[in-house]
Amino acid sequence: MLTQAPKGTQDVLPQDSYRWQTIEDTMRRVASLAGYREIRTPIFEHTELFQRGVGDTTDVVQKEMYTFNDKGNRSITLKPEGTAGAARAFIEHHLFADPLPAKMFYVSCPAFRYEKPQNGRLRQFHQNGVEVFGAKDASVDAEVIALAMDVLRENGIDGLRLAINSIGCPACRAAYHEKLKAYLEPKLPTLCETCRDRFQRNPMRILDCKEDAPKLTDAPAMLDSLCDDCKEHFDKLKAYLTALSIPYEVDPRIVRGLDYYTKTVFEIITDTENGPLTVCGGGRYDGLVQELGGPETCGIGWGMGVERMIMVQDARGTAPEAPALYDAFVCTLGDAARLEGVKLVRELRQAGVKADLDHAARSLKAQFKYAGKLNARYVVTIAEDELARGVVKLRDMAESAEREVPRDAVAAELRK
RNA sequence: GUGGGUAUGGCUCAGUUGGUUAGAGCGCUAGGUUGUGGCCCUGGAGACCGUGGGUUCGAGUCCCACUACUCACCCCA
């Protein structure tokens, strides 16, 4: 077990890390074009932050957190998601005193949930995300959704389903819960065990139960119970999305498992051979900052699973090509040539040419084979003859064309 | 947390009704051309057959447990 990564964790190997870097680059580029700046928060926080922020009746907090006491006997939790930490930092550093909205993003942020791993679900996973604090107009809801779609599209992932919903504000949701409970109560005995439990904790979830939902088609819908303010917000969001030519479907079953959401919630879903998979999920959290002790500040954001994006790229064959490891591989024959080769490789690197030479004491032929396997664009050969004449052989591997180049002109030649 | 499937060299897999030194392809490595890649040919390294028990004269093969991986439910990224 010593040489086995813990359950639900994954290594990103050198040959694969470019996939992550490409996705990270895209995220940085797209987000900064919209005025978002990167935030980095600790990988662990006080447990209470998530109990208060995410909500201590949620599955995430109740069953899935990596919680432990540190040596000072503080209860510490590895963050299960990105929003609570960002909100805490927003409050702690008085970012509410800056010009609002405060727009921020994070990249390949580790998150931890103690769950049984399966397809697209790990115990340590990574999210890209955005958070916006202090913007109440639905135009920002549409903006963050547009950003998510753009990030996905620029990573070769499009044609995804955008599903949106509104779960209202504390005022209209409380009223709705009463209506819903009144409707459900007589049916309780016919519901499954989990749903009888949900009845107290989060009755809206029952409408998303695969077992019970079909029996409850005439249940009152949150969308029909929104207060005027929430309804107007949702209508505006739809108008903005339409203006941006972003197709969406309204899915009243989207509830989200984190307590802080209000009004807008959304998911971006891909259909895999194993069924639908959410690649990105988020929503508005107008009560979160205040709940955590900050000034009344609205907010909205999303998280996007990096591993899931990579899965989708793989499934669709839209993964970017691996960048070439070397522009030039230097092959040498003889000790004097080898010394020259070591010098040349360093020169090339300093000139911005990706270069290397054999470090395994291989035969010339094996050096060529190695260069071929690593897809080096050029092979530079130096032996006694070339050394004496102040030249090198420059071979274009794809063309199988070889020519002589003056030793001093190699770097310039390869930078062309 | 509940249920199903799987576990043999680095990878993908064979392995006959349990029978002697566990095979192949790919990959890795060396050579076939003592100055040259991709194709071809030849050689080499590399497996306590997931772990621990049990049945048996004998277990990769049968039984049990454990662990890991994987899939579905739940939930979510």
Domain CATH code at residue A39 = 3.30.930.10
Residue A350 domain flag? yes
CA of A362 to C1' of B40 (A): 22
Supply the angle between the helices A228-243 and A138-154 in degrees, to the nearest 10.
Answer: 40
CA of A365 to C1' of B14 (A): 35
The per-residue pLDDT for A26 is 97
Q: Give yes or no for residue A328 having a pLDDT over 80.
A: yes
Lowest-pLDDT range of A30-39, A126-135, A302-311, A313-322: A313-322
- CATH number, domain containing residue A353: 3.40.50.800
Question: Of the candidates A296, A316, A336, which is a domain's last residue?
Answer: A316
On whether both A270 and A381 belong to a single domain, the answer is no
CA of A1 to C1' of B55 (A): 29
What is the rounded average pLDDT of the residues A228-256?
94
The per-residue pLDDT for A1 is 57
The per-residue pLDDT for A212 is 73
The per-residue pLDDT for A112 is 94
What is the rounded average pLDDT of the residues A22-34?
97
Q: Which residue gives the smallest C-alpha to C1' distance to B71?
A: A118
Residue A153 domain flag? yes
CA distance linking residue A150 with residue A300, whole number of Å:
17
Lowest-pLDDT range of A143-152, A200-209, A293-302, A372-381: A200-209
Question: ipTM value of the model?
Answer: 0.84
Cα A349 from chain centre = 33
Residue A234 domain flag? yes
Angle CA A290–A164–A292, to nearest 5: 10
On whether both A351 and A259 belong to a single domain, the answer is no
pLDDT 10s digits, A338-357: 999 999 999 999 999 999 99
pTM of the complete model: 0.91
Question: Of the candidates A316, A343, A374, which is a domain's last residue?
Answer: A316
What is the rounded average pLDDT of the residues A131-156?
96
Residue A207 domain flag? no
On whether both A154 and A300 belong to a single domain, the answer is yes
The per-residue pLDDT for A19 is 93
Q: Which residue gives the smallest C-alpha to C1' distance to B69?
A: A7
On whether both A304 and A334 belong to a single domain, the answer is no
CA of A402 to C1' of B12 (A): 38
Please give the residue that has the higher pLDDT: either A144 or A157: A144
The per-residue pLDDT for A146 is 97
CA of A311 to C1' of B16 (A): 40
Q: What secondary structure letter does DSSP report for A119? A: T
On whether both A151 and A272 belong to a single domain, the answer is yes
Residue A6 domain flag? no
Question: Which runs of E-coded beta strand occur in A285-386?
Answer: 299-305, 328-332, 355-357, 378-382
CA of A328 to C1' of B13 (A): 37
Q: Which positions of strand B lie within 7 Å of protein CB atoms?
A: 1-3, 28-33, 35-38, 67-77
Average pLDDT, chain A: 91
Q: Which nucleotide is nearest to A283 (CA to C1')?
A: B77
On whether both A242 and A370 belong to a single domain, the answer is no
On whether both A140 and A264 belong to a single domain, the answer is yes
Question: Of the candidates A259, A284, A316, which is a domain's last residue?
Answer: A316
Residue A222 domain flag? no
Q: Which nucleotide is nearest to A388 (CA to C1')?
A: B35
On whether both A24 and A127 belong to a single domain, the answer is yes
Q: Which nucleotide is nearest to A124 (CA to C1')?
A: B77
Q: Which nucleotide is nearest to A387 (CA to C1')?
A: B35
CB contact burial A270-281 (16+ within 10 A = b; e otherwise): beeeeeebbbbb
Lowest-pLDDT range of A94-108, A259-273, A290-304: A259-273
CA distance linking residue A396 with residue A416, whole number of Å:
13
CA distance linking residue A59 with residue A53, whole number of Å:
13
Q: Which residue gives the smallest C-alpha to C1' distance to B27?
A: A373
Q: Give yes or no for residue A200 having a pLDDT over 80.
A: no
Count of all residues that appear for chain A in the document: 416
On whether both A39 and A154 belong to a single domain, the answer is yes
Q: Give yes or no for residue A258 having a pLDDT over 60.
A: yes
Q: Which residue gives the smallest C-alpha to C1' distance to B75?
A: A59
Lowest-pLDDT range of A159-163, A313-317, A349-353, A399-403: A313-317
Q: Which nucleotide is nearest to A64 (CA to C1')?
A: B75
Residue A323 domain flag? no
On whether both A265 and A401 belong to a single domain, the answer is no
CA of A10 to C1' of B31 (A): 39
pLDDT 10s digits, A146-197: 999 999 999 988 878 999 999 999 889 888 888 888 888 888 777 777 777 7
For residue A394, what are the β-bridge partners?
Answer: A380, A403
Domains: count for chain A: 2
> What are A5's two structure tokens?
């990564």
On whether both A81 and A146 belong to a single domain, the answer is yes
Cβ proximity of A58 and A88 under 8 Å: no
Enclosing domain of residue A165: 17-169+227-316
Residue A387 domain flag? yes
CA of A107 to C1' of B19 (A): 59
Supply the angle between the helices A306-316 and A17-33 in degrees, to the nearest 10.
Answer: 110
What is the rounded average pLDDT of the residues A265-276?
83
On whether both A145 and A55 belong to a single domain, the answer is yes
> Using 50, 70 and 90 to split pLDDT, how confident is the model at A2?
low
> Using 50, 70 and 90 to split pLDDT, how confident is the model at A87?
very high
What is the rounded average pLDDT of the residues A221-242?
94
